[in-house]
């Protein structure tokens, strides 16, 4: 027997990859995990007969010739299957898109691509072979891609994800059904908890990172708590969220964490509490500990473990072209043309920031035939400045909320640097490339 399976607690991408794999290897029998992620439950209920899964324990009665593993390359995440396979000496192929997983499945042939979803890897193979697939399988696969790319908004999205999604649409995938499968809050208790948590959120700046913390007490563990956390994370303007659920009946606390930044490694953070998962999605169950104690321990650990975020001093230009307060508007105009700038800070004789002059200010003076007067008469005196400790989020807010293109970085009244919109956008582009390579 030849078999294909994914990681424990199968999610939508796992189902999508298995649905497409039968077109590449129709002789492989799919095996179902004992655990299914809540967000994938509705899809599973609708299509389980189509998959024709067998249970992991059924493997013990067969001689397994070869194995395909999808959506993980970590041995610990597929141990529920391999424990039933005795004396296995066959071939193992692995298809995965998680760059942080460990390649510890012995003797495996790895097919690893840094795409938004494992489903995309297999979909690309089908496209190369010009294989037509059935609409039901196209829908399952498209749900997997939408889920793991965050509706194509995560930083892991690649051009290939769009290409395969288009291929699936051409094969009859239903966007309406995909939307239904991705609707994470389906139960009344989830919706009630969602609104309750929204009113109790705490927003923290921890080492330059904008973090949302949540603490709530409920009688006992119920399903779908991770989905509630994810939905709040979708609408909150933050880099990570940590929800602490205290179960009064059992005196246990569950931490659910989600992140959208590579430098907030949730798997490492949750390891401190005996948990695990991915670098951007992780959780931990702390037993026999009060909820408030766990919450305090978590906040303290974040203060100690989160690396300091990039600040203005890291990306500012230190050598800044400036206009002297004693210059005439004509001299300032010539100067800006020479340095090819649209604006520059105006400094006093003592080197203090007293204003800001732009080409727009100079145009007003030219229309008024006042180019011979001092820049003091037309410069902006209410200058918005920032300290070198300003975070990227604060830089963004300052530039765009105030509709300015230049942000002088000051220490007291002294100019020490400058950040422009171009500097900010350049940093964001470099940071994006860094996280996707």
343-352 long-range CB contacts below 8 Å, 24 or more apart? 343/405, 343/406, 344/320, 344/406, 345/320, 345/383, 345/406, 345/408, 345/415, 345/418, 346/322, 346/375, 346/376, 346/379, 347/322, 347/323, 347/415, 349/324, 349/325, 351/414, 351/415, 352/413, 352/414
Q: Domain holding 205: CATH number? A: 3.10.310.30
Given a cut of 90, whether residue 164 has pLDDT beyond it is yes
Q: What is the pLDDT of residues 339-363, one digit of tens each?
A: 998 889 999 988 889 999 999 889 9
pLDDT at 125: 96
Choosing from 182, 209, 228, the residue where a domain stops is 182
* pLDDT per position as a tens digit, 24-81: 999 999 999 998 887 888 899 889 899 999 999 999 989 999 999 999 988 888 999 9
- Say if residue 381's pLDDT is above 70: yes
Is residue 255 a part of any domain in this protein?
yes
Higher-pLDDT residue of 164 and 309 is: 164
Q: What is the pLDDT of residues 84-130, one digit of tens each?
A: 998 888 899 999 987 655 667 888 889 999 899 999 999 999 999 99
**Do the domain assignments include residue 373?**
yes
- SS3 percent helix, strand, coil of the chain, rounded to 5, is 40, 25, 35
**Which of 140, 161, 182 delimits the end of a domain?**
182
Q: What is the pLDDT of residues 280-304, one digit of tens each?
A: 888 999 999 999 999 999 999 999 9
Q: For the chain, how many structural domains are there in total?
A: 3
299 & 325 share domain? no
Q: Let me know whether 207 and 169 are in one domain.
A: no
pTM: 0.64
What is the rounded average pLDDT of the residues 194-202? 91
* Average pLDDT over the chain, rounded to an integer: 89
Q: 91 in a domain, yes or no? A: yes
Cα 331–Cα 335–Cα 340 angle in degrees, nearest 5: 150
Per residue in 219-240, pLDDT (tens digit) is 988 877 888 898 899 888 788 9
Any domain includes 437 = no
- With bands split at pLDDT 50, 70 and 90, how would you rate the model's confidence at 262? confident
Range of the domain at 320: 313-432
The answer, yes or no, to whether residue 277 has pLDDT greater than 80, is no
Domain membership of residue 395 (yes or no) is yes
Mean pLDDT lowest for which of 111-120, 150-159, 202-211? 150-159
pLDDT of 437 reads 47
CATH of residue 110: 3.90.1640.10
Final residue of a domain: which of 151, 182, 213?
A: 182
Are 387 and 411 contacting, i.e. CB atoms less than 8 angstroms apart?
Answer: yes
Cα–Cα separations (whole angstroms), residue 266 to 13, 96, 232, 263, 281: 20, 20, 17, 9, 6
414 and 274 in a common domain: no
- Residue 49 forms part of a structural domain: yes
Q: Residues of the chain with pLDDT > 90: what percent? A: 50
Same domain, 157 and 11: yes
């Amino acid at each position: 027997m030849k078999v294909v399976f994914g990681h424990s607690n199968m999610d939508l991408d796992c189902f999508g990859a298995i649905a497409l794999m039968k077109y590449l290897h129709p002789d492989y029998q799919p095996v179902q995990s004992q655990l299914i992620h809540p967000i994938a439950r509705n899809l599973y209920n609708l299509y389980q007969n189509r998959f024709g899964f067998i249970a992991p324990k059924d493997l013990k009665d067969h001689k397994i010739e070869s194995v395909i593993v999808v959506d993980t390359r970590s041995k610990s995440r597929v141990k529920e299957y391999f424990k039933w396979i005795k004396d296995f000496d066959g071939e193992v192929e692995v298809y995965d898109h998680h760059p942080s997983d460990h390649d510890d499945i012995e003797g495996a042939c790895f097919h690893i691509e840094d795409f938004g979803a494992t489903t995309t890897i297999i979909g690309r193979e089908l496209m190369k072979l010009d294989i037509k697939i059935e609409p039901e399988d196209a829908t399952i696969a498209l749900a997997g891609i939408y889920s793991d790319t965050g509706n194509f908004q995560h930083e892991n999205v690649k051009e290939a994800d769009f290409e395969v999604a288009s291929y699936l649409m051409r094969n009859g995938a239903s966007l309406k059904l995909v939307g239904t499968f991705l609707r994470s809050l389906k139960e009344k208790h989830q919706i009630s908890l969602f609104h309750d948590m929204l009113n109790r959120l705490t927003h923290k700046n921890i080492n330059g990172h904008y973090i949302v913390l949540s603490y709530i007490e409920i009688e006992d563990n119920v399903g779908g708590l991770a989905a509630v956390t994810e939905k709040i994370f979708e609408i909150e303007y933050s880099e990570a969220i940590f929800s602490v659920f205290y179960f009064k009946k059992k005196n246990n606390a569950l931490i659910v964490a989600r992140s959208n930044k590579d430098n907030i490694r949730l798997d490492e953070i949750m390891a401190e509490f005996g948990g695990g998962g991915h670098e951007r999605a992780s959780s931990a169950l702390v037993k026999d500990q009060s909820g408030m104690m766990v919450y305090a321990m978590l906040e303290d650990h974040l203060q100690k473990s989160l690396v300091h975020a990039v600040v203005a001093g890291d990306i500012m230009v230190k050598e800044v072209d400036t206009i002297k307060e004693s210059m005439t508007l004509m001299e300032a105009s010539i100067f800006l043309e020479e340095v090819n700038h649209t604006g520059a800070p105006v400094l006093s004789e003592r080197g203090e920031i007293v204003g800001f002059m732009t080409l727009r200010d100079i145009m007003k003076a030219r229309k008024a035939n006042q180019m011979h007067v001092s820049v003091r008469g037309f410069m902006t005196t209410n200058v918005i400045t920032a300290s070198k400790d300003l975070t990227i989020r604060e830089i963004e807010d300052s530039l765009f909320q105030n509709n300015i293109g230049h942000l002088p970085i000051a220490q007291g009244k002294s100019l020490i640097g400058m950040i422009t919109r171009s500097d900010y956008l350049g940093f964001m582009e470099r940071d994006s490339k860094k996280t996707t390579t």
